[in-house]
Amino acid sequence: MSLSHDNHADSTSWHDLGDEIAPFDHQDPQLADTLHERLADLRERCPVAHSTAHDGFWLLTRQDDVTAVAKDGATFSASVRGLGAAALFPGSENTVAPLFESDPPVHTRWRKVLQPFFTLSAVQAHEPFIRQLTDQVIGALAPRGQCDVVSDLAALIPTVVIGEVMGVPRQRHHELAQLGLGLMAPTSEQHGREAATGLVDFLRREIAERRGRVAYDSDPLTAVVHAVVDDRRATDDELLKHAFIMFSAGFTTTVDTISNLMLLLAQDPATRQRVIDQPELVTELIEETVRHEPPIVATARTVLVPTTLRGVDLDVGDRLMLAWASACRDEQYVTEPAQFRLDRPRQGRDPGWGAGVHRCMGTRLARLQLRIVVEKVLAAIPEFAVAPDTTPQRTTGVLRGVRHLRLIWPV
Question: Does 111 participate in binding ligand HEM (rule CB under 6 A)?
Answer: yes
- C-alpha 4/C-alpha 12 separation (Å) is 20
Q: How far apart are CA 94 and CA 81, in angstroms?
A: 8
Rounded Cα distance between 255 and 182, Å, is 13
Please give the full DSSP string across 380-395, using - where no structure is assigned: H----EEPTT----B-
In the complex, least distance from residue 329 CB atom to ligand HEM, rounded to whole angstroms: 14
For the segment 68-107, give every residue that binds ligand HEM (CB under 6 A).
70, 99-100
Cα(first)–Cα(last) distance of the chain, in Å? 40
Minimum distance from CB of 118 to ligand HEM (Å)?
Answer: 7
Residue 290 sits in the site that holds ligand HEM (CB under 6 A) = yes
Cβ-based nearer residue to ligand HEM, 8 or 346: 346
Q: How far apart are CA 52 and CA 20, in angstroms?
A: 16
State which residue, 167 or 295, has the beta carbon closest to ligand HEM.
295
Cα–Cα distance measured from residue 230 to residue 216, given in angstroms and rounded to the nearest whole number? 18
The one segment of 143-151, 234-242, 244-252, 389-397 that binds ligand HEM by CB under 6 A: 244-252
Closest CB to ligand HEM among residues 15, 369: 369
Stretch 345-384: interaction string toward ligand HEM, x if CB under 6 A: -------xxx---x-xxx--xx------------------
What distance in Å separates the CA atoms of residue 49 and residue 69, rounded to the nearest whole number? Answer: 15
Candidate residues 250, 337, 392, 397; the one interacting with ligand HEM per rule CB under 6 A = 250
Cα distance between residue 56 and residue 51, in whole Å: 5
Helix axes 127-141, 158-165, angle to 10 degrees: 160
Scanning 35-43, 50-58, 186-194, 295-303 for contacts with ligand HEM by CB under 6 A, the matching segment is: 295-303
CB 204 within 8 A of CB 216: no
Q: Which stretch binds ligand HEM (CB under 6 A): 24-32, 44-52, 194-202, 291-299?
A: 291-299
User: Which lies closer to ligand HEM via its Cβ, residue 314 or residue 399?
Assistant: 399
Helices (H), 3-126: 35-45, 63-71, 85-88, 106-114, 120-124
Q: C-beta of 25: minimal distance to ligand HEM in Å? A: 19
Shortest reach from residue 117's CB to ligand HEM, in Å: 9
How many whole angstroms separate alpha carbon 37 and alpha carbon 339?
13
CB of 398 to ligand HEM, least distance (A): 10
Supply the minimum distance, in Å, between the C-beta of residue 408 and ligand HEM: 26
Stretch touching ligand HEM by CB under 6 A, among 56-64, 138-146, 294-302, 304-312 = 294-302
Q: Minimum distance from CB of 54 to ligand HEM (Å)?
A: 16
The number of beta carbons lying within 10 Å of the beta carbon of residue 377 is 23
Contact indicator for 365, 165 with CB cutoff of 8 Å: yes
In order of 16, 30, 36, 220, 290, the CA distances from 22 in angstroms are 10, 12, 14, 44, 27
Residues 157, 160, 163: CA angle, nearest 5 degrees = 150
In the bound complex, which residue of the shown chain has the CB atom lying closest to ligand HEM?
362
Minimum CB separation from ligand HEM for residue 383, in Å?
A: 25
Work out which of 57, 324, 384, 409 binds ligand HEM, going by CB under 6 A. Answer: 324
Residues that bind ligand HEM (rule: CB under 6 A) add up to a total of 25
Chain residues that interact with ligand HEM, rule: CB under 6 A: 70, 99-100, 111, 246, 249-250, 253-254, 257, 290, 294-296, 299, 324, 352-354, 358, 360-362, 365-366
